[in-house]
Amino acid sequence: MDRVRVVVVGAGRMGARRAGSVASSKSATLVGVVDPVTERANDLAKKQGCASAGSLEDLTGAGDIDAVIISTPNDEHGKVAIPSLNKGRSVFCEKPLSNTLEEADGIHAAWKASGQLFRMGSNAREFGNVRKALQLAREGAIGSPAYGRGWIGFEKAIARNDASYYDTKKIGGGVLVDVGHHIVDLGRAFLGDFDDAFGYSPTPISTDGRVPLDTCFIGTLRRRDGRWFSLQASWQDYSGYLFLEIAGDKGSLVVDSRHNVATLDLNSPGGGRTSWDFYAEGPVSFQREMDTFLEAVRTGKDERGPSCEDGLRTLAAIRSMYASWSSGSWASLPPRFRSLPS
Ligand SMILES: NC(=O)c1ccc[n+]([C@@H]2O[C@H](COP(=O)([O-])OP(=O)(O)OC[C@H]3O[C@@H](n4cnc5c(N)ncnc54)[C@H](O)[C@@H]3O)[C@@H](O)[C@H]2O)c1
């Protein structure tokens, strides 16, 4: 295929960002924008010079569609993903895959049956320091990964006082399933699948008098082979805050994107250290993840994640951390998501 023909579904904050990235890509053409709030769809379509409609079914004048970008609220992901996959379209889906494991299973089954490319939105994997750390870990720079810890923050959810962040029915949780998703995804990318989860929120708020919503979440994921990952996700820590440390038997990797830095250190047990600074590359992660997705659709070759499978497994870890918070004790992941015996 010469150029991938793309429709963005959901013309809110992320939809506008994704539409801009598609328009700047060398591999694709943005052919349409869809949103039930028609002024939103029309405004974005006018800005980008493409067709618009209230739903994918009503989108006429866009011609054939190769790929769909799903930037709707979480509880709408499946409603768009499943019919799109059934029609043979590739999908880029914002995290999380869905609010529930049941719906996520349905998306996963449709993906498997379709043979199409499916990428989870996860721009944190495309930070220069995270990308390099993943590459070094894959090359064995720290030996066998043993444990890690990660923090992520996004204070804008509270600063905006935006009710959509507090709508547990739409989001399926609070900060853990929001920005916390990135850090759980990275924990899995470095350490593999987990078996047990512990989670706790020290600052829950109640939005409907019933469901506690986590504005800060602290959790631990462990594997039966001893690997361990602890994390904190917070709507109090400032936006862009990301810190990650992964240690293995031959060294450790420290990713630091706090306080306007973007560094990576590779530490060796004898005290040696190699450092990289990615600050000069600027905020390129969203464009980079879209470019790599669109090029993968264009060429039919996908060498990167996270895939639909990763999205399902990350969601399983997150749901188990929430289950642990509810019960006050460790929660085991459902057997099909646990680590393979080593
Ligand atoms: N870095 C990231 O990866 C990142 C950051 C923020 C948000 N997100 C994800 O992006 C998604 C959207 O978040 P947002 O902040 O842009 O929300 P938003 O509320 O700003 O926009 C969502 C839009 O989707 C539209 N919509 C609802 N149902 C729809 C449907 N069935 N078809 C088409 N459009 C529909 C709404 O009218 C709205 O315009 C969420 O899944 C969120 O988790 C990802």
Contacts of 57 (CB under 8 A, 6+ apart): none
Check if 14 has its Cβ closer than 6 Å to any atom of ligand 1.
yes
Contacts of 316 (CB under 8 A, 6+ apart): 101, 333, 334, 337
Q: Which of 77, 94, 186, 285 to mutate to test the pocket of ligand 1 (most atoms within 8 A of CB)?
A: 94
Instruction: Check whether 118 has a pLDDT greater than 80.
Output: yes
Query: Measured from the CA of 77, which atom of ligand 1 is nearest?
Result: 41
Cα 34 to averaged position of ligand 1 atoms, centre (Å)? 12
DSSP state of 66: -
Cα of 308 vs its chain's centroid, Å: 11
CATH number of 4-122: 3.40.50.720
Say what the pLDDT of residue 322 is. 96
Positions of CATH 3.40.50.720 in the chain: 4-122
Find the helix packing angle between 13-23 and 38-48, rounded to 10°.
20
Nearest-5° Cα angle at 320, 318 to 322: 75
Check if 34 has its Cβ closer than 6 Å to any atom of ligand 1.
yes
Using only the alpha carbons of the chain, give its radius of gyration: 20
Instruction: Check whether 150 has a pLDDT greater than 60.
Output: yes
Q: Distance of CA 84 to CAs 65, 69, 111, 268, 279, Å?
A: 10, 10, 10, 47, 38
Positions of CATH 3.30.360.10 in the chain: 124-283+305-337
Cα 71 to averaged position of ligand 1 atoms, centre (Å)? 4
Q: Which of 18, 44, 72 to mutate to test the pocket of ligand 1 (most atoms within 8 A of CB)?
A: 72
Cα 101 to averaged position of ligand 1 atoms, centre (Å)? 19
pLDDT in tens, 270-325: 889 999 999 999 999 999 999 999 999 999 988 788 999 999 999 999 999 999 99
Say what the pLDDT of residue 342 is. 57
Q: What is the mean pLDDT of the segment spanning 95-122? A: 97
pLDDT in tens, 176-224: 999 999 999 999 999 999 999 999 999 888 766 666 889 899 999 999 9
Q: What is the mean pLDDT of the segment spanning 116-140? A: 97
Check if 48 has its Cβ closer than 6 Å to any atom of ligand 1.
no
Q: Answer whether CATH 3.30.360.10 is correct for domain 124-283+305-337.
A: yes
Say what the pLDDT of residue 229 is. 98
Instruction: Check whether 160 has a pLDDT greater than 70.
Output: no
Q: How far apart are CA 119 and CA 70, in angstroms?
A: 10
Torsion of CA 151, 155, 156, 161, to 10 degrees: 130
Ranges 13-27, 39-53, 290-304: which has the least confidence: 290-304
